[in-house]
Amino acid sequence: MDLHAIQGQRPATILQSMMHYKVQRYLSLMNLPVNMNLLELKYYCISQSNQERQVATTLYSLEDTISRRKEEIVTEGSGKPSWTKKLLLDNQLLCSKIREEAGELIETLLENEDKSRTASEMADLLYHAMVLLSVRDVKMEEVLEVLRRRFSQSGVEEKASRKKS
């Protein structure tokens, strides 16, 4: 902010300049267009938080379904057929499916397959990996927490710091 420019200005004008400066800084930090007006910014924030809520709801509902299947194994035995139960009961099968799904995801890149195939293979891998989390009693929130902690550090910096210690 140019301090010379505000010298001799009325407090209200200075406050307005400061607000404008803060909004511009926020927009540039968020990589948003600097000419975005406040109404557009408001709708952007609302749609972002809806999207975040949808991501969390999807992951947590799937986690919930998997843990219900785990409980069903105890309460109902084999009960009604379920792929999740099969995986929960057989570590070999689970590990081989995770490897297979990771391989299929990689193939979509190497073979330059349709984007929808990449999304579908990633969904398969994510689901199977989440069953492994359940077997290990690791909550999705613990994984997300690890990712959030890494936000402040680049992967290259993190690797370099590991080599020093």
Ligand X SMILES: N=c1c2ncn([C@@H]3O[C@H](COP(=O)(O)OP(=O)(O)OP(=O)(O)O)[C@@H](O)[C@H]3O)c2ncn1[C@@H]1O[C@H](COP(=O)(O)O)[C@@H](O)[C@H]1O
Instruction: Give contact residues for ligand X (rule: CB under 6 A).
Output: 62, 65, 69, 82-85, 124, 127
Nearer to ligand X, 18 or 106 (CB): 106
Nearer to ligand X, 115 or 162 (CB): 115
Nearer to ligand X, 107 or 124 (CB): 124
Provide the minimum distance between the beta carbon of 138 and ligand X in the complex, in angstroms, as a whole number.
Answer: 18
Query: Among all residues, whose Cβ is closest to ligand X?
Result: 84
Whole-number Å distance between alpha carbons of 162 and 62: 34
- The DSSP line for the chain is --HHHHTT--HHHHHHHHHHHHHHHHHHHTT--TT--HHHHHHHHHHHHHHHHHHHHHHHHHHHHHHHHHHHHHHHTT-S--HHHHHHH-HHHHHHHHHHHHHHHHHHHHTT--HHHHHHHHHHHHHHHHHHHHHTT--HHHHHHHHHHHTTS-HHHHHHHHHH-
Provide the minimum distance between the beta carbon of 112 and ligand X in the complex, in angstroms, as a whole number.
Answer: 19
Provide the minimum distance between the beta carbon of 49 and ligand X in the complex, in angstroms, as a whole number.
Answer: 24
Nearer to ligand X, 90 or 157 (CB): 90
Provide the minimum distance between the beta carbon of 148 and ligand X in the complex, in angstroms, as a whole number.
Answer: 24
Nearer to ligand X, 93 or 144 (CB): 93
Provide the minimum distance between the beta carbon of 62 and ligand X in the complex, in angstroms, as a whole number.
Answer: 6
